[in-house]
Amino acid sequence: MEDNPHLKHTPLHALHLSLGARMVPFAGYDMPVQYPEGVMKEHQHTRVAAGLFDVSHMGQVIVRPKSGKIEDAALALEKLVPVDVLGLGEGRQRYAIFTNAEGGILDDLMIANRGDHLFLVVNAACKDADFEHLKKGLADTCEVTMLDDRALIALQGPHAEAVLGELWADVSAMRFMDVAEADLHDVTCIISRSGYTGEDGFEISIPLESAVDVTQRLLEHPDVKPIGLGARDSLRLEAGLCLYGNDIDTTTTPVEAALEWAMQKARRAGGAREGGFPGADRILGQFAGGASRRRVGLKPEGRAPVRGGANLFADAEGKTPVGQVTSGGFGPSVDGPVAMGYVDSGHTENGTTLFAEVRGKYLPVAVAALPFVKQTYKR
Amino acid sequence: MLKFTEEHEWLKIEAGVATVGITEHAAGQLGDLVFVELPETGSTFSKGDSAATVESVKAASDVYCPLDGEIVEVNQAIVDDPSLVNSDPQGAAWFFKLKLANPSEADALLEEAAYKELVA
């Protein structure tokens, strides 16, 4: 396993190697794709116990209002996202998207209200561009800082609360999308009850110098195993969650991507702060009149996985193209192939049979409701 | 006669028919297999053609035909249970039997020692 000098390392890189991880390049980082147990067992362990993920490659950004008033930062950020940031209470987090002038999606992110500042988590591959975008958009009102002195891990699964509860009793008071500060082994961490697996769980931002220590102690718990990017992908796909760059990008709008739920009433037509974000005309227009295509779940009827990039047709002969798969693979918990993709309006109703082109054959797939597994968030 | 290819296949050749599978090294690299697609009996392939497909949770990979020949038998057991390829790749999880068009071409394939050196 050669060390690629062009790849960045997270603070947990040496720990991954010591755990026997197979490393792959991902978003400019040398990341663990799987550990010796393998993707299948890692996936299943996360669904029945607790999985620990290194997500330190993601960007952690602080947006601090120059006025000292959090409302000013919230209103400034609302110019970049079609989301109600002003209405986000202290200690709460919300999913958001950066849009561009055409209504496309520049990135998806989490926004937390931390009282005197906003705390953002953005995708690794987009973080430098996001940082520039934020600085440019918010320079007048806010200080924008990319934190390079913190690691980020996720602890996901039905045992995550009990595991974390052994270090911090108050964890059980947190609800889905709550954000709080807590000491884990005397290290002050920022903890959100959220994740990317469809399971209950937590994301934990840890000061760099304590990252290995806190992570190792969590891994000592018999219910916790390290989980690589392979299982992270199959878990999020079963949960119906988008992967930026695959399922959403600058060519997809939030309405096409079926992310209307991420746009609260205040920002929609007739809302208190209607529009006012990049691409608002197009996005609100699609809100009212519908889009010509939509992201849907796709359940292949056979055993063959249907991967991202596969073309979709209305007929079994491949004559009438109706869309494309954007993510697809095998769902270990579903025990079968699962996929999602974009389908022309008129073919998006659940149960519609479409045909995916795989190695020259046209395999039947059914339009299916997302998620494929029941989400177990503690609301 | 046991032979190997640089594409991580093994061939056990008896009376001009090669039983073909993927090596332990290949199975380990692919990870947990969830789907196997085998060729049809009676179909013919040239060396280097994609003759079968294996899929892990993450990705699909081709299994190439190691020599020219005709498929005379396939192993339905690995289609029914792809995890067999992970547990016994060089035994019960053979892929297909290939009637070699030119049995002497097998001489040019790798010996076991040379293959082991390749993946060491």
Token pair 């999913």 is found at A95
Residues in B closer than 8 angstroms to A304, CB to CB, are: 35, 37, 55
A51-61 pLDDT per residue, tens: 999 999 999 99
**Preferred mutation among A23, A37, A40 to probe B, highest tally of B CBs within 10 A:** A40
Q: Which domains does chain A have, with CATH numbers?
A: 13-54+149-238 (3.30.1360.120), 292-379 (2.40.30.110)
> What span, in angstroms and rounded, lies between the C-alpha atoms of A64 and A70?
8
pLDDT tens series, chain A, 379 aa: 456 778 999 999 999 999 999 999 999 999 999 999 999 999 999 999 999 999 999 999 999 999 999 999 999 999 999 999 999 999 999 999 999 999 999 999 999 999 999 999 999 999 999 999 999 999 999 999 999 999 999 999 999 999 999 999 999 999 999 999 999 999 999 999 999 999 999 999 999 999 999 999 999 999 999 999 999 999 999 999 999 999 999 999 999 999 999 999 999 999 999 999 999 999 999 999 999 999 999 999 999 999 999 999 999 999 999 999 999 999 999 999 999 999 999 999 999 999 999 999 999 999 999 999 998 999 9
**Predicted pLDDT of residue A3:** 60
> What span, in angstroms and rounded, lies between the C-alpha atoms of B1 and A281?
70
Residue A159 at interface with chain B, using a CB cutoff of 8 Å: no
Name the closest residue on chain B to residue A330, using Cα atoms. B57
**Predicted pLDDT of residue A69:** 97
> CA dihedral in degrees (A244, A247, A253, A257; nearest 10)?
-120
**Predicted pLDDT of residue A6:** 87
ipTM of the complex: 0.88
Token pair listed for B102: 């030119």
Token pair 């591959």 is found at A125
The residue among B39, B38, B34, B40 whose CA lies nearest residue B82 is B34
Q: What is the DSSP string of B75-112?
A: -HHHHH-THHHHH-TTTTT--EEEEESSGGGGGGSBPH
A365-379 pLDDT per residue, tens: 999 999 999 989 999
User: Residue B20: which domain range?
Assistant: 2-119
Residue B61 parent element (H or E) = strand B60-64
Residues in A closer than 8 angstroms to B31, CB to CB, are: 34, 38-40, 230
**Predicted pLDDT of residue A142:** 98
> What span, in angstroms and rounded, lies between the C-alpha atoms of A200 and A47?
10
Tell how many helices (H) and how many strands (E) occur in chain A: 8, 19
**Preferred mutation among B34, B61, B81, B85 to probe A, highest tally of A CBs within 10 A:** B34
B11-60 pLDDT per residue, tens: 999 999 999 999 999 999 999 999 999 999 999 999 999 999 999 988 89
**Of B31, B34, B55, Cβ closest to residue A34:** B31
**Alpha-carbon A253 to chain mean position:** 17
**Predicted pLDDT of residue A5:** 75
Q: Are A373 and A334 in contact (CB under 8 A)?
A: yes
**Predicted pLDDT of residue A1:** 46
**Predicted pLDDT of residue B58:** 82
B72-119 pLDDT per residue, tens: 999 999 999 999 999 999 999 999 999 999 999 999 999 999 999 999
Q: Residue B41 sits in a domain of what CATH number?
A: 2.40.50.100
**Of A34, A231, A330, Cβ closest to residue B55:** A330
Domain count of the fold of chain B: 1
